[in-house]
């Protein structure tokens, strides 16, 4: 009997490596990781990306910002070890993009979406004030977490990227939904 | 002051910490992305609580961090709040927050702490070696 697992085992490598390679090229993906996110892994990834940026002669200002955004993006995937998370770095002509994808509870989608929409409609000063409130743990109206995701990390990404956060949800089943959040860094001064 | 200095060597994910009660010179340098941020900073809080009972007339604190996450930001704020209490009690405390001139986020974090605390925090561009 041919099971799905045995079918996967004997599948020629090219049938999945080429589409993946093509997809990465088409979407300007320069780095992609899937699996549990740990601090040790974060260090390895940062070293790898640093090497690539240096090799490409990227400006230090951009490299620093990309690093800071990656560090905080990792924090969003850290507590999702069982299901693992996806981290993707894309390099486009005028911007870098860092996306983190992870599973969240399906019943928390509305809460996460509402919070990101709220963040995306704040001015830089309002974002700073909200960040200060959460940093001091003295929020009466701002939640510390939205759907298991630290809200201060979302605020931090919005402040650092100087751009709207892009997000999406892919419903998996009644329990789990795949959530992705993207922060963009423009190569020109904001 | 008969307290012992607290010295924690840096790792690839935690900062070097030197709290020298004899000279009143404190230093935090390197990266701060520990897996257990509270676990890393708790001995530092305890040490500072002891130091606050009998601080030197002048304490100079140097932060020279490469990068850190928001979890560490909260703990660094707690460190600074303890220094703020020493300052409020009438002792001189000077904090220097170093940042790379290309790192606007690190500069902005220093500004955040300036805004949140009643403590002299000087922002200073790192001199490239």
Interface confidence, given as ipTM, is 0.91
- We report the CATH number of the domain holding residue A128 as 3.30.565.10
- pTM, to two decimals: 0.90
What is the DSSP pairing of strand A145-146 with strand A95-105? unpaired
Contacting residues of A for B32, CB less than 8 Å apart:
none
Mean pLDDT of all residues belonging to chain A: 88
pLDDT at res. B127: 83
Q: What is the C-alpha separation between B56 and B75, in angstroms, rounded? A: 23
| Chain B touched by A161 (CB under 8 Å) | no
Residue A47 has pLDDT above 60, yes or no: yes
Quick check: A133 pLDDT over 60? yes
In a domain, B1, yes or no: no
Binary contact (A38, B100; C-beta < 8 A): no
Quick check: is A4 in a domain?
Answer: no
Q: Is the Cβ–Cβ distance between A148 and A179 less than 8 Å? A: no
Residue B116 lies in a domain: yes
Report, as an integer, the average pLDDT of A95-102: 95
Q: Is B33's Cβ below 8 Å from some Cβ in A? A: yes
Question: Hunting for tokens 């690093």 — which residue is that?
Answer: A67
Say yes or no for a CB contact (<8 Å) between B33 and A67. Answer: no
Higher pLDDT, A1 or A138: A138
The DSSP call for residue A97 is: E
Q: What is the pLDDT of residue A188?
A: 74
- Within a domain: residue B30? yes
- The predicted pLDDT at position A80 comes to 57
Band (A83; pLDDT cuts 50, 70, 90): confident
How many residues are recorded in chain A? 190
- pLDDT value of position A54: 84
Asked if pLDDT for residue A117 goes beyond 90, the answer is yes
The nearest CA of chain B is from the CA of A120 a distance in Å of 19
What is the average per-residue pLDDT within A30-50? 88
What is the percent of chain A with per-residue pLDDT over 70, rounded to a whole number? 94
B95 neighbors B63 (Cβ within 8 angstroms): yes
Q: Does A131 touch chain B (CB under 8 A)?
A: yes
Asked if residue B111 belongs to a domain, the reply is yes
Give the whole-angstrom CA distance, residue B97 versus residue A29: 35
8 Å CB contact of A132 and B116: yes
Specify the pLDDT at position B126. Answer: 92
Per-residue pLDDT at A56: 82
- Which residue bears the tokens 């190569």? A187
- Which residues of chain B have a pLDDT value below 70? 1, 129
Instruction: State the Rg of chain B over Cα.
Output: 14
Residue A82 has pLDDT above 90, yes or no: no
Residue A1 counted as domain residue = no
Chain B interface includes A149 (CB < 8 A): no
State the DSSP code for A163.
S
Q: Which of A60, A74, A136 sits opposite B102 (nearest CB)?
A: A60
Q: Which domain holds residue A78?
A: 10-186
Q: What is the tally of structural domains in chain A?
A: 1
In a domain, A3, yes or no: no
Q: How many alpha carbons fall within 13 Å on the CB side of residue B103?
A: 24
- Put simply, the chain A residues between 87 and 106 with a CB less than 8 A from any chain B CB are none
A29–B contact, CB cutoff 8 A: no
- The residue segments making up the domain with residue B22 are 6-125
Burial of residue A23 (number of CB atoms within 10 Å: 0-12, 13-18, 19+): exposed
| Angstroms from A156 CA to nearest CA on chain B | 8
Q: Which long-range contacts (CB under 8 A, 24 or more apart) does B14-22 make?
A: B14/B40, B15/B65, B15/B68, B17/B44, B19/B44, B19/B47, B19/B48, B19/B51, B21/B51, B21/B56
- pLDDT value at A187 more than 80: yes
pLDDT of residue A9: 72
């Amino acid at each position: 009997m041919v099971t799905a697992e045995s079918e996967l085992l004997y599948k020629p490598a090219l049938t999945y490596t080429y589409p993946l390679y093509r997809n990465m090229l088409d979407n300007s993906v320069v780095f992609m990781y899937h699996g549990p996110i740990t601090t040790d892994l974060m260090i390895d990834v940062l070293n790898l990306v640093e090497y690539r940026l240096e090799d490409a002669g990227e400006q230090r200002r951009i490299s620093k910002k990309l690093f800071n955004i990656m560090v905080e993006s990792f924090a969003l995937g850290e507590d999702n070890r069982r299901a693992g998370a996806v981290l993707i770095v894309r390099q486009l002509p005028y911007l870098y993009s860092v996306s983190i994808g992870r599973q969240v509870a399906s019943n928390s989608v509305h809460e996460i979406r509402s919070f990101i929409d709220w963040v995306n409609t704040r001015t830089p000063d309002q974002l700073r004030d909200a960040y200060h409130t959460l940093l001091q743990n003295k929020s009466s109206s701002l939640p510390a977490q939205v759907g298991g995701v630290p809200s201060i990390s979302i605020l931090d990404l919005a402040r650092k990227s100087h751009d709207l956060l892009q997000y999406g949800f892919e419903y998996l089943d009644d329990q789990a939904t795949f959530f992705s959040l993207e922060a963009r860094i423009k190569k020109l001064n904001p | 002051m008969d307290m012992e200095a607290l010295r924690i060597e840096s790792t690839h994910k935690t900062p070097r910490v030197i709290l020298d009660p004899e000279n009143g010179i404190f230093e935090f340098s390197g990266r701060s992305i520990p897996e257990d941020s509270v676990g890393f900073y708790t001995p530092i809080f305890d040490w500072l609580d002891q130091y606050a009972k009998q601080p030197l007339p002048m304490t100079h604190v140097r932060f020279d961090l490469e990068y850190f996450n928001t979890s560490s930001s909260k703990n660094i704020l707690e460190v600074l709040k303890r220094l703020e209490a020493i300052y409020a009690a009438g002792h001189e405390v000077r904090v220097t927050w170093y940042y790379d001139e290309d790192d606007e986020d690190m500069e902005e974090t220093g500004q955040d702490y300036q805004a949140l605390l009643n403590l002299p925090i000087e922002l200073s561009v790192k001199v490239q070696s």
